[in-house]
Chain A
Amino acid sequence: MGLFDMMSISASALTAERQRAEITSANLANAETTHTEEGGPYQRKEVVFSGTSISPFSTVLNRLNRFGQPPAGSVQLTEVVSDPTPPVKRYEPGNPDADKTGMVEYPAINPITEMVDLMSAVRAYQLNASAVNSAKQMIQQSIDILKTS
């Protein structure tokens, strides 16, 4: 069913973009976190998106064996990776996390980068939400054929 496939493609993008917004919010929230369970300051996280193949072959294959598999063309968040940028050091001798020289390691997070990333995720979310609406309207219209006369 083309229209329902279209909805699940857009839904996969909604999920991926929401997860991206969550990771970005976590980065913003932990911009000043100097102490984590793993030790050391918080490490900035980044998401990796990857699309499923939409070659004609995989499209047909998907139709034959479609249970539990996302339709061709959908997107997935495959990995959350840590940003290897070294932490920023600030001189705060009174801080309990300070080393012997009085330096405290802070995560290398630039709020502007995160805000731009967040805005981009929200825009992409809106775009795909409008695609879901469009699919909904088309399904509704095809149901309306039955209501003729």
Chain B
Amino acid sequence: MSSGPLLNLIQGYLKVATDRQQVIAANMANVDTPGYHTRDINFQAALREAMDNTTGQQLGTASVEVEGLPERPDGNDVNIDRESMLLSQTQLQYQMGVQLIKDQFSTLLTAIKE
């Protein structure tokens, strides 16, 4: 099926978006935990990793601590504005991925029906 690789790519994209959204949710959950440091996923590196990994066995993408954010006196450096912005951004990226998958399927369906 010609649309296979593209579907795989979009699937990896959705997977990475979901993982990143989970890390952002964890940052938001720990907004009041003393000593917590903001974590994030490098989107492009994670997507490349998801593409190279063709076995289908996917472990959670490793998140890393974000450097250079100002720390509060309790040692926590979660920035609410940054997290809210990333939450919306990742949600839109996910929506785009879903739309692309839907388009793939409707193309396929058109080919079947014609």
Contact = CB atoms under 8 A, between A and B. Distances in A.
Interface of A: 2-3, 5-6, 9-10, 12-13, 16-17, 20, 49-51, 54, 56, 59-60, 63, 71-75, 120-121, 123-124, 127-128, 130-131, 134-135, 137-138, 141-142, 144-145, 148-149
17 contacts: A3-B18, A6-B18, A6-B25, A10-B28, A13-B30, A49-B33, A50-B33, A51-B36, A73-B23, A73-B25, A73-B30, A121-B32, A134-B21, A134-B88, A137-B91, A141-B98, A145-B105
Given A142-B98, A144-B98, A145-B105, A73 B32 contact: no
Contacts of A127: 28, 31, 80, 83-84
A2 B15 contact: yes
Contacts, number: 118
Do most interface residues of chain B lie in helix, strand or loop, or is the interface mixed?
helix
B9 interface: no
Contact-residue size bin, chain B (C-beta under 8 Å from the other chain): 35 or more
B94 interface: yes
